[in-house]
Amino acid sequence: MRTSILGTYFLASPDEHEHGMRWYDRANDQAIKLAASAGIAVSTAAGVIAALSPNNAWDRNLIDAYNIVRSYVEHGRDDATLVKVGTYGLNKDKAIRILDGTDPWDAIGGLKVRSFFRLILDPLADDVCIDGHAYSIWKGERVATSKVPKITAKLYAQIQQDYRECASIVSGIKGQKVTPSQLQAITWTVHRNLYRGVRG
């Protein structure tokens, strides 16, 4: 499975490589800006963003997070519950619970979203967010989102470890530190672009 991760990585264009290397740094910047705009902790902002992320495009994810936080801070909890979001209602409920003061780690649940939260909060964290795309890359074939099997804790840890080992290999080859999460973001970008038909 490591071969497929490495193969995808070495397909990356310079722009895709740079985009992936900076992805979580930019996500962290967004959490910091959201926190500053609303007077909340960065961990709260990162938790809200992560809670609203499942099946939600990144741009819409950020819009939803800003709308929920603004409504909550300016008008109260009840107003925040009326905000329309691009993800499931249960995820909106989790975001509101985080704004209520629940620890984001406890409110979020789920391996993937917890990894996403941790990396938004700290881009250098030793974590890898394994979603359907990351699974497809690891598997070495395109797997439709609806066909991605339930990823058990054991399999999640195995895929993460394979990304970590590949990141170490890539770092040695490039002579540049590439973290496991950066490798995941680079390969995710390549995979997305390949199947959207936007690459030459």
Domain count, the chain: 1
Listed residue (140, 178, 123, 135) closest to 159, CA to CA? 135
The rounded Cα 124 to chain-centroid distance in angstroms is: 13
Q: What is the mean pLDDT of residues 102-115?
A: 96
Q: Residues 135, 156: contact at Cβ < 8 Å?
A: no
Is residue 147 predicted with pLDDT exceeding 90? no
Select from 135, 117, 44, 51 the least CA-distant residue to 87: 51
- Domain of residue 78, residue span: 2-196
Average pLDDT over residues 59-87: 97
Asked if pLDDT for residue 164 goes beyond 50, the answer is yes
- pLDDT bin (cut points 50, 70, 90) of residue 44 is very high
Q: Which amino acid is at 28?
A: N
- Please count the other Cβ atoms lying within 10 Å of the Cβ belonging to residue 124: 12
The pTM of the full predicted model, rounded to 2 decimals, is: 0.93
The pLDDT score that the predictor gives to residue 197 is: 60
CA atoms within 13 A on the CB side of 26: 11
pLDDT at 199 (0 to 100): 45
Confidence band for 200, pLDDT divided at 50, 70 and 90: very low
Cα separation, 187 vs 23, whole angstroms = 12
